Every structure is written in C-alpha cells, then in structure tokens.
Amino acid sequence: MTKKAQTPTVPSGNPDPNTLQLSKDPAQTDAAQIAAMALGGVAANAMTTRTFAKGTFGTLDVTECVMTLKKRVDTTHGGDLKHAETTLTAQAATLDAIFNEMARRAALNMGEYLDATERYMRLALKAQGQCRATLETLAAIKNPPVIFAKQANIAHGPQQVNNDSFRSNTRTRAHARRTETTPDELLEGPQHGSTNMDDRAATTPARGHPAVEALEPIHRPRKSRRKSGGGA
C-alpha cells in the first residue's frame, strides 16, 4: 500500500499561522498601521510568496514570512546585495534547466510532430533568453559599468571671473586671428585708399610702352548710291 503524500506544515510559535500579528505602534492608530503595512509592499509580496510556496513548503507562518522579507529589505538598503546575487544565480540555473528540458522535448517531436516541436523550441529559446538576461543583471551588480561623461561647468549662484586672465586670453586669440593669413587675403586688392599692394614696399617704375607700328590701309568697297524712283 502506498501512503498519500501530505503537505507538511511548518510549526511556528504563533497560534494562527494565517493571521498577521503586528507590534502596536503608539504613534499610529490601528487602522493607519494596518494600511501602512498593506501599502508598504513587504507584506503583500510576502503573502504572494507564501501562496506560491505552499505546494513545496506547506503552510508557512504569515508573520514569519513578513518579518523575514523585511530583514532582507533592510539588508539591501544597507548595501549588502548578497541575497540578490544568490537569487539571480539560482534563477539562472533554474532557467537553464527549463531550456534543456524544452529543447529535449522539441528534439523528441522533431520529424513527426512539427507543431509540437516548434512550440517546445520557442519555450526553450524564451528560457534561454531569460537566463542570459539574468546573468547579465548579475554581472552588472558584481561589476557596475563605468560611464564617461563630459564635465559640464554648471554652478548655482554667483561665479567669480578672473578678468586679467580673460583679457590675456582675449588678446592672445585676437593676435592669432590677425597673424593668420589666408590665400584669399593675399589676392585682395589695396584697402583704405592705398595705391600699392604693400605700402611699405618701394614702387618700381614702369617701363615705356613699345613703339606702335602704323596699320596698313584698309581697302573697302565703295558704297553704291541707292537709286530712287525719279532722281538721278
């Protein structure tokens, strides 16, 4: 004879494991304290975890679940991420197991049941993608990425300006602009009424024009007089 498996019940010191017991806060009313616990996030997630874990671990004490999760949250607030690293590592292993099982079932149906093969393969690839994303998150927690950003000179309130340094830099930039000569400037004509390309250069006298020879006479045909109707 085989015995029917019974769901174990974790013993606790509370008389009713399904009742959440809270310590009285003198600064808050009972209704405000219950509302703060319900909206805080810890109690609600503890209840959800307790419901899903019932099939594996049996009926858990709700007060102990809330207190345990509250301690883990406080540890995370303190900067200790060991529990998060443990959870991500375990989940990555579980997702990898799901991937292998779905891939195995896809291989068994391949060649005969293509529809089942495709469905199992999709589930396998989804599990593989989630496993990769979990490992990437774990790597980001262990080794945070370094961000290089340009420094922005943003200051609130009055700012002090060094006028001597500002004037010196302004003169240096102005001198540099004056000394720069572009090819277009070399080809420009005289400016400001100057008669030479360079006023400082000596003027070279121009040579006389060469002799111009006389042109040969041009023989053109004489114009014929236009005869009118009655005249000569």
Cα–Cα dist 145/137, whole Å: 11
50 contacts 65 by C-beta, under 8 angstroms:
yes
Output 46 or 187, whichever has higher pLDDT: 46
Give per-residue pLDDT as tens, 117-154.
999 999 999 999 999 999 999 999 988 887 776 666 66
Whether residue 3 has pLDDT greater than 50: no
SS3 category, 59: strand
For residue 210, give Cα distances in angstroms to 24, 207, 213.
Answer: 122, 9, 9
pTM confidence score: 0.53
The arithmetic mean of pLDDT across residues 8-30, rounded, is: 74
pLDDT band at 73 (very low <50, low <70, confident <90, very high): very high
- Helix or strand or coil: residue 229? coil
pLDDT category at 94 given cuts 50, 70, 90 is very high
pLDDT value at 180 more than 50: yes
At 9 the pLDDT is 47
64 phi, psi to nearest 5 deg: -70, -35
Start-to-end CA distance of the chain, whole Å, equals: 158
Q: What is the dihedral of CA 22, 84, 51, 131, to 10 degrees?
A: 170
Residue 220 has pLDDT above 80, yes or no: no
Q: Which residues touch 43 (CB under 8 Å, ≥6 apart)?
A: 20, 37, 66
Residue 30 in tokens: 């009972």
Are 67 and 50 contacting, i.e. CB atoms less than 8 angstroms apart? no
Residue 199 scores a pLDDT above 80: no
| Lookup: tokens for 82 | 């060991």
Q: Is 198 helix (H, G, I), strand (E, B) or coil?
A: coil
Judged against a pLDDT cut of 50, whether residue 6 lies above it is answered with no
Average pLDDT of span 28-39: 88
Residue 134 burial class via C-beta count within 10 angstroms: exposed 0-12, middle 13-18, buried 19 and up: buried
Contacts (Cβ under 8 Å, ≥6 apart) of 61: 10, 12, 14, 17
Give the 3-state secondary structure of residue 22: coil
Q: Phi/psi zone of residue 50: left (φ > 0), alpha (ψ -120 to 50 degrees), beta?
A: alpha
Burial label, 91 (beta-carbon count in 10 A; 0-12, 13-18, 19+):
middle
| Residue of 54 and 185 predicted with greater confidence | 54
Query: By the 8 A CB rule, do 18 and 58 touch?
Result: no
Q: What are phi and psi of 9, to 5 degrees?
A: -120, 120
